[in-house]
Structure 1
Amino acid sequence: MKVLLMSHGTRGDVQPYVALACRLMAVGHDVTLMGPNSLWELARSAGVPYVPVVDGPLELLADPVVLRANEDCRGLRGAVRGMRWFRRNRPYYVKLLEDLIAKVQGLPRPDVVVFAPWVQAHHLAEWLKVPAVPVCLQPGWVPTPDFVNPLVPVPLPASLSGASYAYAEWLVRLLYGSSVTRLRRALLGLPNRARGPSILFRPDGRPATVLQAFDPGVLPGAPRYPPTTHTTGFWHLPITDEWSMPADLRSFLEAGDRPVYIGFGSMVVSRSVARSRAVLAAVRKAGVRAVIAADWGGAMASEQEQCRGSDDVFFADEAPHDRLFPHIAAIVHHGGAGTTASALRSGRPQVVCPFTFDQPFWARRMHALGLAPAPLPQNDLTADRLAAALRRAVGDGQLKESAEQFGLCSLTRDGVGRAVEVLESVVESS
C-alpha cells in the first residue's frame, strides 16, 4: 500500500502524521509525508520520506493580527478577531495549496491520501482518483448531536449541537474563499463536487472515511458519530534511543524534588516579557522547582541568563515529551492536542493555560476529568493564579491518582495501530 500523508502547521499538527508514517512503514507500507519546510528535521529524525512544501501560514505566527486572535478568540469580540485571522492567512493557504498541487504531480501515484482538513487535499485525491481520508486532531469537524462544536467561540444551547458543526466547514470557506473552485478548474481540471468542498464527503456525495486521532475517553459522554468515522486514540511517536538526555538536565532532575514542566509550544505571545516574569514569579510563589521550555514562541529569552545555575529553574532546549514527562511532577501547557496527549499518557496532573481554537476545549475536558485545576486562560494568567494552580497540581492527591489511572488507560490504546487497520480497509475496498 502506498500512502501519501499531507499535513501542515506547527510541530503539534505534523507530529501525529510522523507517528502514523512510522507505524505504516513498520508493517511494510510505502509512505511519503508532505509538510512544511521548517519541520523537515522532525521527519528525517524518524526516518520518514518527506517532501517539504512552503511554510506559508507559519510565516505569520508573529503577525499582530494573528497574535491578537491567538491570545483571545472567545466570545463575540474574539470571533471578530478570528475572522480577521482567517482573512489575513488566506493568501498563505492558497499559496500552500498551489505548492501541494505542483509537487504532487512529481510523485508516484498513491493508493490513498491522508490529510489535515486545513490542507484540503481531498481535491488532489479526487484528481489522482484515489480515496481521501481526513484526519481530525480535535473534535469539531464531524457532527454529533451530543455536544456543541468546541471550535465555536461563543456559547450555544445544546439544541444547536448538530447544527454547530457547520462552523468548521464555514471556516475553511472563509480561509480559502473562491480559490479552491478556481484551482480545481485551472490546475486539476475538476468540476464542482456533488456535496460542495466538504472533507466529509466523497466526490460522488457518499460519506467519506474519517479518522479522529484522539482518545474517545476524553470526550463528554459517549458521542454518536457516523459509522464511517473512527475515533482511534491519540497517535504517539514510537519511543527510541535516538535522544539522550543532556547531562545538565539530568543533574537538575536528580538534584531535588520532581519539578513541574512549563511550556506553551509554538504559541507566540505579544507581551512576552511580562508573561515570562509572571511564570517565574509563580514558580517561586508556589515553592516548586521547574523545567521551562527554553523558547515557547520567543518568550523567556530575556530570563534565561538571570536563572543560569539556579537550583529551582532549568531552561530546557527541545526535549521529547515522552522522555521528559515521566520525570515531572505536573505539566503546565497551552492545551494543544499533541501536548495534551503526551500529558495524559504520562499520568501526571496538568495545569492548562489555553490560548485559542481547540485549546479551551482540552482545558475544560482535563478539568472535567479530574486531571487538572480549572482552566487558566492566557489572558487571565498572573503570578498568583498560576502559583495557586501549581500548588494544587503538585499537592492534590486526588488529581495525582486520577492522572495516574488515566495514564495507564492511555498506554493500552494503540491509536496508530487502529488507524493503519482503517486505512488498509479503505484501500482494499476501493
Structure 2
Amino acid sequence: MHPKERTKDGEEGLGAVPPARRIVLATFGSLGDLHPFIALAKELQARGHIPIIATSEFHRERIERQGIAFFPVRPDLLDIEAKPEFFRDLMDRKKGSEVVIRQVFMPSLRASYDDLREAVRGADLLVSHVVAFAGPLVAEATGIPWVSAVLSPISLLSNHDPSVPPQVPWFRHFRRLGPRFHGPLHSFARRAVRKWTEPVQQLRSELGLRPVADPLFEGGNSPTCMLVLFSRVIGEPQPDWPPQAVQTGFAFFDDVHATGMTAELKQFLSAGPPPIVFTLGSSAVMDAGTFYERSRAAAEQLDRRAIFLIGIDPRNRLREPLPKSMLALEYAPHSELFPRASAIVHQGGVGTTAQALRAGRPMLVVPWGHDQLDNAYRVCRLGVARTLARDKYTVRRAATALRHLLDEPTHITRASEVGRLVRAENGAASACLAIERALAVS
C-alpha cells in the first residue's frame, strides 16, 4: 500500500488503512479451483474491499451464499454437469488436459473475453486463475492492473523441481537429472501443447494485441505479481520461478455453515475409532468406476470403519447395504471430517490434497489425471502418503497400502508434523497483502 494513505481519522500517515477497492477474481473449474478464490474474496471483504468472483454460472449459488458478489462468465459448466459421460474424457490421464483446454475453454474464449471485460468495468484490479485464459487478454486490452495465480506446482514447470506429467508417470524416475536434462524437455513439452491454445493467439490478433510465446504457461503470468497459492511443503521456491512470484501457502475455504457435518455423520464419528475416508473430490467423482466398491472391500478386509463421499452421481451408490461400521454420504466438509479420519484415500486434486495435509493424516493417493499425479508424487516425497495408479487400485493393493499407512508410525508421525506446518500458514491473508501491494503501485 502507498506509504501516504489516509488513516481512519482522515490524516495521512504510515501504515494507514487502504481504501476500499473493487477487485474481480476470475477462476474456472472444480471446487478445488473455486474455493481458494472464495477464501481470497472473504479475506478481501474483511480488509474492507469489494471482491467480485467472475466464473461459471454453475458456481453462482455457492458464491452468493457467502455474501460475495458474482458475475457470470462463460463457459457455463452446467453444460458439462449435464453430460456425466463427458467426464471420462475430462479425467483421462493421457488426454484429459487437452480435452479441458480444447473442448471446454477454447470454443468459448471469445464469449469468455466479452463477459470478463464487462465484469472488470469500473474495477480496480483483476486477479485471474491460470485457466481463465481471457484474463491476460482483458488486462492488456483494458489496461486494468492484473495479478495472476497458480494453484499447484505443475503450473510453474520448473527445471529445478520438475513435475510429473500425467501422460508419463514413469517420468518421476528422471527428476534428479537436473536442469540441463529437464530444460530441453520442457521446451519440447511447451511446443507440443502450443496448438491447444491457438485460439488465444487468434483472438489476440483480432484485438490488436501482440502474440505471446506461450499462452498456457508464461503467457498466463502477470508481469507484476503472480500468486503461488500452495504451501512450501509441496513445492519450495525455485531459481527459475518468475521473479514476481509470491508464494503464500494454501488459501483454505470450506462451506461448513451451509454443508457442515450432519447429525448422522457426527453420531457415526462418535460411535467408534477414526474411520478411513474415501473421496474423489468434485471432478473425478463423476468418473469413479469401481473405486467405491473396491474401497469398501479393502476396508472390510482390514476390518476398519469407513466413510465414502460418493457425490451426486447415482452410479456411485454402493450396491449392498452398508454395515454399521460404514457410512456413505454425498459430501462432507473436508476441513471438519479429515482431522477425524485415520487415513484419507483421494484422487490427488490440489484442493483435496491441501485439506488432507492440513488435517495431518496419512493418505493414499489414487490419481486420475491433470496435476494429480504430480501432487501424489510430492506428498509421497514428503513421507505422508503412498500412491497407487488408478488401474492398479485393486482390493488387495489398496488394503496393503492402507495397512502400511495405518500400522507404521513413520507416516502417521510425519503427517502430523506436516499438518502443523500447513496450519501455521495463512495463505489467504498473505495473498491479500500481495494484492494490496499490487494495487498501491498501479
Give the TM-score normalised by the residue count of structure 1: 0.86
Give the deviation of 1:95 after TM superposition: 4.0
- Distance, in Å, in 1 between the alignment partners of 2:117 and 2:271 is 55
Secondary structure of the corresponding residue to residue 65 of structure 2: helix
1:142 aligns with 2:156: yes
The change in CA–CA distance for 1:230 and 1:297 in structure 2 (over 3 A counts) is farther
1:65-84 aligned within 5 A: 67=88, 70-73=91-94, 81-82=95-96
Point out the more displaced range, 388-397 or 128-137.
388-397
> Which AA in structure 2 matches 1:354?
P
1:289 aligns with 2:328: no
1:177-216 aligned within 5 A: 177=198, 179-186=199-206, 189-193=207-211, 197=215, 200=218, 207-216=223-232
In structure 1, what is the equivalent of residue 104 of structure 2?
A: 92
The change in CA–CA distance for 1:312 and 1:174 in structure 2 (over 3 A counts) is farther
- Distance, in Å, in 1 between the alignment partners of 2:72 and 2:246 is 28
Match of 1:33 among 50, 53, 74: 53
- Distance, in Å, in 1 between the alignment partners of 2:354 and 2:254 is 14
Give the deviation of 1:42 after TM superposition: 2.0
1:231-310 aligned within 5 A: 231-237=247-253, 241-268=257-284, 272=288, 274-295=290-311, 299-303=315-319, 306-308=320-322, 310=323
In structure 1, what is the equivalent of residue 43 of structure 2?
A: 23
Q: Give CA deviations for 1:91-141 in whole Å, capped at 9, x if unaligned.
A: 531343233222234343322211111221110111220222221111133
In structure 1, what is the equivalent of residue 380 of structure 2?
A: 367
Sequence identity (%): 25
In structure 2, what is the equivalent of residue 52 of structure 1?
A: 72
- Distance, in Å, in 2 between the alignment partners of 1:427 and 1:165 is 33
In structure 1, what is the equivalent of residue 5 of structure 2?
A: none
- Distance, in Å, in 2 between the alignment partners of 1:168 and 1:24 is 37
Give the deviation of 1:143 after TM superposition: 4.8
The change in CA–CA distance for 1:136 and 1:412 in structure 2 (over 3 A counts) is same
- Distance, in Å, in 2 between the alignment partners of 1:353 and 1:240 is 26
Match of 2:238 among 223, 227, 237: 223
Secondary structure of the corresponding residue to residue 141 of structure 1: helix
Match of 1:153 among 158, 163, 167: 167
Give the deviation of 1:200 after TM superposition: 3.3
The change in CA–CA distance for 1:199 and 1:428 in structure 2 (over 3 A counts) is farther
Whether contact under 8 Å (1:93, 1:175) holds in the other structure is no
> Which AA in structure 2 matches 1:276?
Y
Match of 1:14 among 19, 34, 37: 34
Match of 1:378 among 368, 390, 405: 390
Runs (5+) with no aligned partner, structure 2: 1-20
Give the TM-score normalised by the residue count of structure 2: 0.84
> Which AA in structure 2 matches 1:300?
N
- Distance, in Å, in 1 between the alignment partners of 2:370 and 2:33 is 13
Give the deviation of 1:167 after TM superposition: 6.6
In structure 2, what is the equivalent of residue 132 of structure 1?
A: 146
Work out the number of aligned pairs and report it: 411
In structure 1, what is the equivalent of residue 197 of structure 2?
A: 176
1:411-422 aligned within 5 A: 411-422=423-434
In structure 1, what is the equivalent of residue 332 of structure 2?
A: 319
- Distance, in Å, in 1 between the alignment partners of 2:433 and 2:262 is 38
Match of 1:388 among 390, 400, 406: 400
1:109 aligns with 2:122: yes
In structure 1, what is the equivalent of residue 439 of structure 2?
A: 427
Give the deviation of 1:41 after TM superposition: 2.2
Give the deviation of 1:58 after TM superposition: 6.8
Q: Give CA deviations for 1:39-58 in whole Å, capped at 9, x if unaligned.
A: 22221222211112334567
1:330 aligns with 2:340: no
The change in CA–CA distance for 1:307 and 1:60 in structure 2 (over 3 A counts) is same
- Distance, in Å, in 1 between the alignment partners of 2:216 and 2:316 is 41
Whether contact under 8 Å (1:71, 1:269) holds in the other structure is no
Match of 1:349 among 357, 362, 370: 362
> Which AA in structure 1 matches 2:364?
V
Point out the more displaced range, 34-43 or 104-113.
104-113
1:4 aligns with 2:4: no
Point out the more displaced range, 282-291 or 268-277.
268-277
In structure 1, what is the equivalent of residue 4 of structure 2?
A: none
The change in CA–CA distance for 1:230 and 1:396 in structure 2 (over 3 A counts) is same
In structure 1, what is the equivalent of residue 11 of structure 2?
A: none
The change in CA–CA distance for 1:143 and 1:249 in structure 2 (over 3 A counts) is closer
Give the deviation of 1:349 after TM superposition: 0.9
Runs (5+) with no aligned partner, structure 1: 74-80
Whether contact under 8 Å (2:292, 2:308) holds in the other structure is no
